[in-house]
Structure 1
Amino acid sequence: MDRHNVSDAVTAEIIAQIHQEDLKIEHNYGCRGMTYWFDEERKTAFCLIEAPNEKAIKDMHKAAHGDVPHRIIEVDKTIVESFLGRIEDPEKSQDTDLNIINDPAFRLLMVIETSNYLDRLEANQYTIFTQKFHNNVSKRLQQFNGNIVKKDNNNYLVSFKSVTDAVLCAQKIQFQFKYVTPKFDPSSRKLKIALSSGTPVTNKDNLFEDAITLASHMCDVIQDPFAITSEVNALYESENRHATIDKELVRVLSVSDEKFLIHLMDYTEKVWNNPDFNVSDFSKALGYSKSQLNRKLKKLTGQSPNAFIKEFRLHKALQLLRKQHGNISEIAYETGFNSATYFSKCFLDKYHILPSKYIQQHII
């Protein structure tokens, strides 16, 4: 898939003409233009093309009309369809000579994460509550026109065209979550939802990578159960004639919050398993004093820097335990803990189960 940034003078008709010029000579370059998306508001066009390599796409575009794409990435057409809803030209345009398609590729992306409390239930309870949860989510996504890109027992990635559909869907899933999960352990019933937005091809290597990464970070570390980006908030207000989001129910990140979050997670991902890493290193690397970092982290995550680092490591350790990636001592040291005993204590405090017991119940 390629991305073209076009000038203000370019219209949907011009893009359709350019697409037709590609189709006339595509066979000379071993290419097949499957379809395209054009966003008149954001002045971007994205072409989905079967081709032997990037050079063939550039050469075809250059020979056909001279408009060489700004970026090309390799994609799985099945994933493209999950995000964007189609991989061929829409049928409604087939009768027109130019097959004009004024269809933006901009999408709202929802990440849903449930806590691992389900993993601590007995097998029969786990099955019942998992089925209830997933049935409810599936119904709500269908109701609000959400396309599931991928999912597993605890996570969803969903694509929406409408920001209103995305926000209302998230609120409905949240509201009904308490009715489909166990009542005997309310402290463990956790559901996090985040909404971000973006286009499929940026400077990253994967579809919608920037938007997905931001939404995933929001789910992972924002203390509020439902968070949205500043752009999603602005789009919602615009789509609903300046109706405002209830800030008591939805955490709206500012642009500065988003930049800090991205910087925070990018750096943490690089150093989290270094046992010598400390808060002084953290604050210096992010460009804040210790007190400034503490305030910003508390505001965003509800945690101190030390607590944030420890919880990040525990989350990574849990993933390694699930994958059976070594024994408890090996995982403790691999995730930055200096002592397996201290690791087990922290794990128990966080997940209310010892790592040894967790392995017995859910891995072996």
Structure 2
Amino acid sequence: MPLYMDFHKNVVATFDEVVLAHLADLEVQEKHHVKYHKFWINPKEGTIYCLIEAPDRHACEAVHKESHGHLACSIVEVDPDFFKLVMGDGHQVDNGPMHHADGSLDLGYRNILAVSLWHEQGAHPTEARKLALEKIAAFHGRVIKWAANDHLIGVFNDSVNAVRCAKKIKLELLVRQSEAIAQANPPIHFKIGLSAGQPVTETSELFEEAVQLALRLCTVAREEEILVSSLVKQLCLEEELLEDDRADTVKLLSTKEEGFILELLRITESRLADERFTIDTLSRDIGMSRPQLYRKVTALIGRPPNDLLRELRMEKAMSLIKQKAGNISEIALEVGYNNASYFAKCFHEKFGCNPSSYAENHKG
């Protein structure tokens, strides 16, 4: 049978009342050909997530309706293999609620690490990817694939492990970078985004919002920077890990800053193909003057809006080339460049090679 996860919000019941509601589900589930496996409860957030095998969403809902009347605000179908990968193993079940292996209550949070890697002259970053994959595994992370995206994406149960992993990847890649420069070889470049979230929302699939946030943070991070979401900052119990120092730059975002970045990217990503989309257009759409936008964006991500817009276009072009989404002229148009020669010039400035060479290096 299909596997589903439902989402309850604004829950005011006690822990014991939730367990009793789950037991009530078990009493009537067979009648509806449903099996309620387990659930995750987060008392502070007032959220509950139930894992269910059922013929369809209506059957899931019918069990809750008959047993206690507390209906979910969202029910999504989940792929069993992806679910196991993202939620992990080693849990304990006590009458339904999930606990970590150490006995603590599993609140459902998972931490998402996104790593973007590229060589200065367009070569495939094989060794750097291997290093990052090894570190994700070493810190008890699990690698997932996300649509056509070619970032490395790791999932961690624990925020401390996620942050430690990000910092270790950064430090070892910086060593590789210095070695390459000393040997006059093209250095590796990277950016890292770290986010966290709960399994589903009213409008998203399994961990969709958390993964998308990590990817967006990776996009706007400076080169060789770790950009950390407000929730990871809140969940990380070893605060000293997040402290900045010369060798290990970690940028922490507030909830307000995070919201601004998401709105900024929402507007720009929807208009990248429009060559008439400029910073004046962006400032108008986001509701602030051009000087205000310049100051805010520069203070937040270390570069002005014009540089960010060009970078977003180049990174999308790089992704489209890897996906073989068209010839170079078509991809140039897709990211807002009518002039293929100027597009190639901008691409070379960003990645150290022209688009055709990059495509040749990434045939496989």
- Could you say which TM-score interval applies, normalised by the shorter chain? 0.7 to 0.9
- CA distances 1:50-101 after superposition (whole Å, capped 9, x unpaired): 2233222111111011111122122112111112114xx95x54xx6x4554
Partner of 2:102: none
Task: Tell me if the contact between 2:141 and 2:162 (Cα under 8 Å) persists in the aligned partners.
Answer: yes
> Unmatched 5+ residue regions in structure 1?
none
- CA distances 1:144-196 after superposition (whole Å, capped 9, x unpaired): 22222338996222222222121112111111123456614677421222211
Tell me which of 30, 43, 47 is aligned to 1:44. Answer: 47
Partner of 2:202: 203
Deviates more, 1:155-164 or 1:135-144: 135-144
Q: How high is the TM-score relative to the length of structure 1? A: 0.85
State the AA in 2 paired with 1:363: K
Task: Tell me if the contact between 2:37 and 2:96 (Cα under 8 Å) persists in the aligned partners.
Answer: no
Q: For 1:222 and 1:296, how far apart are their aligned partners in 2?
A: 15
Where 1:158 maps in the other structure, the secondary structure is strand
Partner of 1:25: 28
Deviates more, 1:43-52 or 1:283-292: 43-52
Partner of 1:142: 137
Q: How does 1:239-318 map to 2 (within 5 A)?
A: 239-240=237-238, 243=240, 245-248=242-245, 249-318=249-318
Q: For 2:266 and 2:184, how far apart are their aligned partners in 1?
A: 34
Task: Tell me if the contact between 1:5 and 1:45 (Cα under 8 Å) persists in the aligned partners.
Answer: yes
Partner of 1:107: 110
- CA distances 1:229-274 after superposition (whole Å, capped 9, x unpaired): 22322332xx23x647323321011222101100011111211111
Q: For 2:242 and 2:39, how far apart are their aligned partners in 1?
A: 33
Deviates more, 1:170-179 or 1:251-260: 170-179
Where 2:267 maps in the other structure, the secondary structure is helix
Where 2:113 maps in the other structure, the secondary structure is strand
- CA distances 1:89-139 after superposition (whole Å, capped 9, x unpaired): 95x54xx6x45544321122211221254x833xxxx5xx62x43443344
Q: How does 1:213-232 map to 2 (within 5 A)?
A: 213-223=212-222, 225-232=225-232
Query: Structure 1 residues 360, 69: CA separation in 2 closer, same or farther (over 3 Å shift)?
Result: closer
Q: For 2:262 and 2:254, how far apart are their aligned partners in 1?
A: 12
Bigger strand share? 2
Partner of 1:56: 59
Query: Structure 1 residues 189, 258: CA separation in 2 closer, same or farther (over 3 Å shift)?
Result: same
Query: Structure 1 residues 363, 161: CA separation in 2 closer, same or farther (over 3 Å shift)?
Result: closer
Q: For 1:16 and 1:116, how far apart are their aligned partners in 2?
A: 52
Task: Tell me if the contact between 2:293 and 2:305 (Cα under 8 Å) persists in the aligned partners.
Answer: yes
Where 1:264 maps in the other structure, the secondary structure is helix
Query: Structure 1 residues 154, 324: CA separation in 2 closer, same or farther (over 3 Å shift)?
Result: closer
Where 2:299 maps in the other structure, the secondary structure is helix
Where 2:227 maps in the other structure, the secondary structure is strand
> Unmatched 5+ residue regions in structure 2?
99-104
Where 2:266 maps in the other structure, the secondary structure is helix
State the AA in 2 paired with 1:34: H
Deviates more, 1:261-270 or 1:317-326: 317-326
Aligned length: 346
Q: How does 1:184-195 map to 2 (within 5 A)?
A: 184=183, 188-195=187-194
Partner of 2:101: none
Q: How high is the TM-score relative to the length of structure 2? A: 0.85
Q: For 1:209 and 1:185, how far apart are their aligned partners in 2?
A: 41
Deviates more, 1:49-58 or 1:76-85: 49-58
Q: How does 1:30-179 map to 2 (within 5 A)?
A: 30-86=33-89, 90=91, 92-93=92-93, 98=95, 101=98, 102-117=105-120, 120-121=122-123, 130=126, 132-150=127-145, 155-179=151-175
State the AA in 2 paired with 1:144: F
Query: Structure 1 residues 285, 169: CA separation in 2 closer, same or farther (over 3 Å shift)?
Result: same
Q: For 1:219 and 1:133, how far apart are their aligned partners in 2?
A: 16
Task: Tell me if the contact between 1:30 and 1:52 (Cα under 8 Å) persists in the aligned partners.
Answer: yes
Query: Structure 1 residues 63, 323: CA separation in 2 closer, same or farther (over 3 Å shift)?
Result: same
Q: For 1:169 and 1:177, how far apart are their aligned partners in 2?
A: 12
Q: For 2:280 and 2:263, how far apart are their aligned partners in 1?
A: 16
Partner of 2:211: 212
Q: Indicate the percent of aligned positions where both proteins have the same amino acid.
A: 30
Where 1:58 maps in the other structure, the secondary structure is helix
Query: Structure 1 residues 82, 185: CA separation in 2 closer, same or farther (over 3 Å shift)?
Result: farther
